[in-house]
Amino acid sequence: MALTREFKETVMEMCKDPEYRKALLAEALETYLEGDIPTGNALMRDYLNGCQAFEDVAAETGLAVPSLRRMLSPKGNPQLKNFFMIYSACSHREGIEAKDLVAV
C-alpha cells in the first residue's frame, strides 16, 4: 500500500524532534529483536525517510542507496551485520551510545 502524502509529511514533521527520532530507533531495534522483521524495516524506513538520511547512512555504511532501500522494503530481510551497520549509523547520527540502551 502506498503511503499518503499526509503520512509522509507527518513523519517528517515528527522527526524534527530528537526524542521522537531516538524513540523510533529504539522501537525499531526492539521490534527486530522480537523477530518482527517487516515492522522493524518499516520503522527504520520511517526514520530514514523522516530524517532524509538514506544517502548519509548509505555513505557511512558503504551500502548503495538502492540496496539500503531494498533491504528495508516490506519484503526486505537485511543480514544481521547490515542491520547493525545501519542501526549504528543511525544511532551515531542521534548521539546514542550503547550505555543509553541499557534499562536501569
Nearest to 75 by CA among 35, 38, 20: 38
Q: Report CA-CA distances (Å) from 103 to 69, 98, 99, 100.
A: 31, 11, 9, 8
Show pLDDT as tens, one digit a residue, over the chain (104 residues).
Answer: 565 667 777 777 888 898 999 999 999 999 999 999 999 999 999 999 999 999 999 999 999 999 999 999 988 888 889 988 999 999 999 998 766 655 54
Domain boundaries, the chain: 5-96
Indicate the pTM of the whole model: 0.83
pLDDT at 96: 85
Contact between residue 64 and residue 58 where contact means Cβ atoms under 8 Å apart: yes
Residue with cell 523510533: 24
